[in-house]
Amino acid sequence: MKRIAGLISLASILISSAQVHAQHVGTIGIGDITYTSNVNNGARTDLHSPDNVLSALNSGIVANLTKIRKFKVLDYPQLTARINEQDRTLEGYYNSSYTGNALLQAGLDYILKANVSEFGIVEQESGQPGAAIGLMVIEFKLIGVADATNDLGSKVIARVYSSKDQKAESAGDKAAAEQLLDRAIQQGVKQLVDQVVTNLFPLRVMKIAEDGVITLNYGKGLLSVGDTVKVYPIGTDTTVDEFGEPVGVAISSLQITSTEKKFAVAKIVDTQQELEKGQKGQRVLNGS
C-alpha cells in the first residue's frame, strides 16, 4: 500500500509540474538595458538619475512580463548566470553568433535588450491639454536565441500629460514633475510589454458563449476590467504602432468585464461581423 501511495503521490507531482510548465510558451531573458538620453528637463536628478530610471525600467519589465503568466522570465543576473554556465556571452547572442544550435539553447527562447533614447519632460504640444509632457522613448530588440528570423527590432514612444492645474514644468513643481516622470516610465513599460506580447503570443478569442460572452486567452496580468480590445479577421496579424495603438481595421470592439489569472471575459461593444474562435485581438491602451 505504501508503494502504491508513493506512486500516486509521484504521479500527482508530475501532473502538477506539467500543468505549471504548460502555461509557459517560452522563456525570455532580460539582457542589457541602457540609457543614452540627454533629455531631462524638470527631472529630479536625485530620484530620476539614469541609474534609477534603468532600475525602475528593469523591475517593471520583469514584473509585467511575469504577471502575464505566458512566459518564464529571467532577470539580468539569472540570464547572465545561465549564459556563463555555457561559456558564452551576451554579445555573442546579440550578434547571432550562436544561432542554429538549438540543443545548447534549451530553456532560453528570447533575449530582450533595450535603450532609453529619450526621457524627461518636454514642451507642451500645440492643441494638447495639460501643461507638460512626460516622455520616454525606448528602442528595443527581441532576439530569437535559436532562430534569428524571430528577431524583432522596434521602439515605443510613451507620452503622458500633466493636468492644467499641475503645471509641472512651467511652475517648477518638482513633486508634479516627479509624478509625471514616474507615469512615463510606467507607460513605457506597458507599451513595451504589449509589443512583445503581440509578436510572441497574440491575444485571441478563446471561447464564444451562446449568450455572446467572449472568453480571451489572457487574464489579469495583461488585461483589466474596463479595457477595450479590438478584434481582427482570421489571418490578420495584429500589430501596434510605436505609440502603443492598434494598427489595422478591426471587425469588433470588446470591453473586459472580468479577469482571472489565465483568462478574461468580455462583452461585445460593437461588431461588423460574427466573431470566431481563434481571431486575434489587441488591447487599446487607456489614456494616460
What's the pLDDT tens digit per position in 240-252? 788 888 778 889 9
pLDDT at 187: 94
Q: Which CATH class is domain 24-200?
A: alpha beta
What integer pLDDT is reported at residue 68 of this predicted model? 86
Report in angstroms the alpha-carbon separations of 154 from 114, 142, 151, 239, 279.
10, 9, 10, 12, 24
What one-letter code names the amino acid at 238? T
CATH code matching the domain that covers 203-284, chosen among 3.30.260.10, 1.20.120.530, 3.30.70.3000, 2.40.10.410: 2.40.10.410
Contact 138, 192 (CB under 8 A): yes
One-letter amino acid of 279: Q
Domain with CATH 3.40.50.10610 in the chain: 24-200
High-pLDDT (> 90) share of the chain, % = 40
Q: Pick from 88, 107, 93, 189: which is nearest to 150 by CA? A: 93
Summarize the confidence of residues 203-229 as an average pLDDT.
91
What is the reported pLDDT for 121? 87
Of 219, 283, 199, 205, the residue nearest 246 (C-alpha)? 283
Where in the chain are all domains bearing CATH 2.40.10.410? 203-284
> How far is the C-alpha of 152 from the C-alpha of 114, rounded, in Å?
12
- In angstroms, the CA 244 to CA 187 distance is 9
By the 8 A CB rule, do 257 and 226 touch? Answer: no
The position carrying cell 504548460 is 22
Contact 265, 223 (CB under 8 A): no
Tens of pLDDT, residues 157-187 = 999 988 654 444 444 567 888 888 999 999 9
**Which residues touch 213 (CB under 8 Å, ≥6 apart)?**
265, 266, 267
What burial class does residue 38 get, using C-beta atoms within 10 Å of its C-beta: 0-12 exposed, 13-18 middle, 19+ buried? exposed
Nine cell digits for residue 222 = 495583461
- pLDDT score, position 262: 86
Rounded mean pLDDT of 52-57? 94
Mean of the per-residue pLDDT values for the chain? 80
The pLDDT tens digits of the residues spanning 243-284 come to 888 778 889 999 999 999 889 999 999 988 889 999 999 888
